[in-house]
Structure 1
């Protein structure tokens, strides 16, 4: 079964607006990245309490804590980052959502990623060890400039760490953007994919587009995923208006385009979703 979710901060920074728009489109889960213009890891205790109360009153859940863990250079200190990671694990428990989105560290421009492989593996293994102890699963997203921006390095990372607490969040648009052939990435990583970000990318115009309108092969991927028993979230992260390294914006109106495009793909293929 496909469960729909969304990075709701792409709609608005106001949590009430997020909930209202998602409800209108039949989406009842959120990949929690930000509200009130503040990252999930930096919100106050009272803001978290208020937001959790809103989620519960409206019958919403979280698909993951959309943390920025791993979005620092591999050459930056790790200890302070581990403190932020501890906060992410605490929030996973607080929201009863045992999933945290992570990345595999930026490689300094011009450096060969292989030169930093050992440090990346050590850091990711430590994150996985702590997550496993907390009964949390880390969802490793691929992204441009990150060690795991190409499928071969994602595969190497996941197999080397070898932890059930570290799995793949497959982002088709991010693979297209770095020139990674989608079919090759999917064929290599499919057994490791436990989370799916719905973001498509037109390589000719260098813009994100609604699902099925770009080069991400999203209809084919969802066909194959469900045929092979995929049971998890499809998380809308459209980036239709703004697409930056740490921020994407779509707005309520364009979010409708994104949500309708995904549901049209699922309906056309008789793929069940909720």
Structure 2
């Protein structure tokens, strides 16, 4: 079983968290992972503003603060193709965001950018798929030119809930710059079992969100600590680590913040408690992971 220090992750496991799940302000995001004994953040918003939309001065201040704290950036969670951008919308928004993030990821020292594959915008399935694949092909081409890797999440979009479509993206159009992000809890929220999907796509997974959830008698989805829900978090983690997954495990509790609903603003204490629960869960798996 992985050894564990008094504070911090079990040896050989790389842990991070989506910072705005802890707090809006970057200083508090850094403080939350530091309290856990971690040194990685996944950046989504700072002060409520997505990374690509920060003005240049605000971005430079953020990068300097991260460097001064010794906090690495595991990935940037972009808005490219997400729930707010249907495939019928303006593609220039995504192309512009990718160009900005290409520059900013270099400063932040990360190559990984989270994306999705576009809501349908009311199109039929065939046209939705054609347009989504066309856009992702162009995004992947540009990402490769910039040395980035786009990590497609199993969330909103044409390929969000289907392993066959995700595999089509990475083997059919994407090349090395398009890979997969697996969010363990999204299956519960979107109505499919997570573990069978993971087993199908595992060779292409480069980043993981740790989330857990359960569906109540009223059909409402409640997000819960890792291992307390219906997402088979322990089995998903065991499958990842036994099959040589060497990427980061990034917590996305959704206990205090629901970005897609525009509710909440993060909770540092809940974030830290969630991280501790994940450490305990990993320590009980009996498998070691990739390097720290």
Interval containing the TM-score (normalised by the shorter chain): over 0.9
Q: Does 1:168 align with 2:180?
A: yes
* Cα deviation code 1:8-66 (max 9, x no counterpart): 11111111111112101112111111112211111111111111111111111100111
1:112 positional shift = 3.9
Cα 1:264/1:250, change in 2 over 3 Å: farther
- Could you tell me how far apart the structure 1 residues matched to 2:147 and 2:227 are? 35
Please state how far the C-alpha of 1:249 moved relative to its aligned partner.
Answer: 4.6
- Structure with greater contact order relative to length (CA < 8 Å, sep ≥ 6): 2
Structure-2 residue corresponding to 1:85: 98
Paired residues for 1:192-271 under 5 Å:
192-204=204-216, 205-245=220-260, 249-271=265-287
Q: Deviations over 1:130-170 (max 9, x none)?
A: 011111111111114x2122123222222221411111000
1:55–1:272 CA distance, 2 compared to 1 (3 A): farther
Match of 2:7 in 1: none
Kindly state the Cα deviation for residue 7 of structure 1 after the two structures are TM-superposed. 0.7
Matches within 5 A, 1:43-82: 43-71=54-82, 72-82=85-95
Residues in 1 aligned to 2:177 and 2:87: alpha-carbon distance in whole angstroms: 21
Alpha carbons 2:169, 2:178 under 8 Å: kept: no
1:129 aligns with 2:141: yes
**The one of 16, 19, 22 aligned to 1:8:** 19
1:97 counterpart residue number: 110
> Quick one: distance in 1 between partners of 2:20 and 2:138?
29
What TM-score, normalized to structure 2? 0.88
Match of 2:44 in 1: 33
Normalised by the length of structure 1, the TM-score is 0.93
C-alpha RMSD over aligned residues:
1.8
Alpha-carbon spacing, 1:86–1:261, altered in 2? closer, same or farther (3 Å): same
- Any conservation in 2 of the 1:6–1:27 contact (CA below 8 Å)? no
* 2:159 counterpart SS class: helix
Identify unmatched segments of 5+ residues in structure 1: none
Aligned-pair CA distance for 1:121: 0.7
Matched residues in 2 for 1:6 and 1:230: separation? 18
In structure 2, list runs of 5 or more residues that go unmatched: 1-11
Tell me how far apart the structure 1 counterparts of residues 187 and 63 of structure 2 sit (CA, whole Å): 33
Deviation at 1:250, TM superposition (A): 4.0
Post-superposition offset of 1:246: 6.4
CA positional deviation for 1:172: 1.7
The separation in 2 between residues aligned to 1:112 and 1:202, in whole angstroms, is: 31
**Distance (whole Å) between structure 1 residues aligned to residue 41 and residue 271 of structure 2:** 14
Q: Tell me how many residue pairs correspond in the alignment.
A: 272
